[in-house]
C-alpha cells in the first residue's frame, strides 16, 4: 500500500511540473507581440503561406459551420438531416477536444451519442445495429421529420470497499433510458452503448507529424511528435485492456503515468518547434530618383 501511494505521489509531482511548464510555454506564445496573441485563425495564418492559410481557414470554417437542411435559401453548406444528432462538428467536439458528458439527472447532452448493437448470428462477424434504428440512435431531425426519440440519464450512487484496510469508495453509476421511440421498441437483443464524442488530439498529432515531414522538418522537431504518437497509441491500448479486465487498479496507475508522460512530451514538442515567426513580405526596391533641383523663388 505504501509503495503504491509513493508511486502515485511521484506521478502527481511530475504531472504538476509538466503541466506548469506547458502553461508557461503557452503564456509565452500568447504574450503581447507574439503571433499567437490575437484571437481567431489569423494569428496562425500570418505564420504560414497563403495555400496553407486558405486550407486552415476552410477547415476551421467547415468544423464550426452549423449545417442546414437541403433547400434552405441563401445557405452555402446544406444537406443536414433528415435525422442527425448535432448540426456542427464543434457542437460535440468542443474546441477539438472531448465533448461534455452528463453531470446531473436529466436529458443527455448533445455530445453523448447512443450506439446500438445487435450480436451477429455468425461467429466472429461484426456486430449489427438494431433492425429498425440502425447503429446510431438519432435524437434530432429536420422540421418535417420526427426524431427517433430522446435520451435521459439518471445516476445511482453505489459504494463498496476498496483495499483490505477498509477504505470505502463511492461511485455514481449512470442509467440511460430511451424515451419517445417513434418507430417502436428496440429489439430484445439490442445493446445500448453510450459514447462521448472523443477528443481529436490523436488525429491532430498524426496530421502535424505528416505536415512536418512533408516540409522537411528536422529530427529535433519530428522526434517529440513521434514519441507523442506512440504514447497516445499506448494509452489507447491500455484503455482497451482496462475495459476487458473491468478496470483493475494496477492498470489505472499505468494509465495515469502514461497521461503524465504524454503532457510532458507535449511540452517537449512545443519547445522543439519554437515560436511561430510571422512571414514578412519583402519591400519593393527603391526606385531611382531624379537629380534634386533647388527651389525657385516666385516673384510677385
Domain that holds residue 138: 80-198
Burial class (CB in 10 A: 0-12, 13-18, 19+), 128: middle
Is residue 221 in some structural domain? no
Q: What number is the average pLDDT over the span 111-134?
A: 87
Is residue 269 in some structural domain? no
Whether the pTM exceeds 0.85: the reply is: no
% residues pLDDT > 90 (the chain): 25
Most confident listed range (9-13, 81-85, 280-284):
81-85
Q: Is the pLDDT of residue 115 over 90?
A: yes
Is residue 99 in some structural domain? yes
Q: Which residue has the cell 435559401?
A: 73
Closest CA relative to residue 100, chosen from 169, 34, 198: 198
Is residue 185 in some structural domain? yes
Is residue 92 in some structural domain? yes
Structurally, the chain folds into a number of domains equal to: 1
Q: When comparing pLDDT for 174 and 215, which is higher?
A: 174
Classify strands 112-117 and 68-69 as parallel, antiparallel or unpaired: unpaired
Is residue 136 in some structural domain? yes
Is residue 181 in some structural domain? yes
Tens-place pLDDT, residues 234-275: 888 888 888 777 777 777 888 888 889 998 998 898 888 776
Is residue 235 in some structural domain? no
Amino acid at each position: 500500500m505504501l509503495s503504491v501511494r509513493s508511486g502515485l505521489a511521484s506521478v502527481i509531482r511530475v504531472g504538476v511540473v509538466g503541466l506548469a511548464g506547458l502553461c508557461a510555454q503557452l503564456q509565452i506564445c500568447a504574450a503581447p507581440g507574439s503571433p499567437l496573441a490575437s484571437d481567431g485563425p489569423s494569428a496562425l495564418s500570418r505564420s504560414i503561406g497563403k495555400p496553407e492559410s486558405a486550407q486552415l481557414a476552410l477547415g476551421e470554417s467547415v468544423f464550426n459551420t452549423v449545417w442546414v437542411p437541403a433547400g434552405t435559401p441563401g445557405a452555402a453548406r446544406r444537406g443536414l438531416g433528415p435525422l442527425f444528432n448535432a448540426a456542427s462538428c464543434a457542437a460535440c467536439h468542443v474546441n477539438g477536444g472531448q465533448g461534455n458528458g452528463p453531470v446531473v439527472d436529466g436529458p443527455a447532452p448533445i455530445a453523448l451519442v447512443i450506439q446500438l448493437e445487435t450480436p451477429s448470428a455468425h461467429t466472429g462477424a461484426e456486430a449489427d445495429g438494431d433492425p429498425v434504428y440502425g447503429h446510431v440512435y438519432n435524437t434530432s431531425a429536420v422540421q418535417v421529420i420526427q426524431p427517433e426519440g430522446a435520451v435521459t440519464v439518471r445516476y445511482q450512487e453505489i459504494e463498496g470497499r476498496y483495499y483490505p484496510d477498509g477504505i470505502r469508495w463511492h461511485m455514481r453509476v449512470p442509467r440511460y433510458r430511451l424515451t419517445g421511440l417513434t418507430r417502436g421498441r428496440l429489439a430484445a437483443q439490442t445493446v445500448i452503448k453510450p459514447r462521448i464524442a472523443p477528443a481529436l488530439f490523436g488525429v491532430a498529432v498524426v496530421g502535424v507529424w505528416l505536415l512536418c515531414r512533408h516540409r522537411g522538418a528536422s529530427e529535433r522537431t519530428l522526434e517529440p511528435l513521434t514519441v507523442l504518437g506512440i504514447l497516445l497509441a499506448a494509452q489507447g491500448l491500455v484503455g482497451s485492456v482496462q475495459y476487458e479486465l473491468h478496470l483493475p487498479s494496477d492498470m489505472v496507475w499505468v494509465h495515469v503515468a502514461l497521461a503524465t508522460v504524454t503532457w510532458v512530451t507535449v511540452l517537449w514538442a512545443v519547445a522543439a518547434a519554437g515560436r511561430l515567426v510571422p512571414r514578412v513580405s519583402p519591400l519593393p526596391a527603391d526606385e531611382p530618383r531624379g537629380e534634386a533641383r533647388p527651389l525657385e523663388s516666385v516673384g510677385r
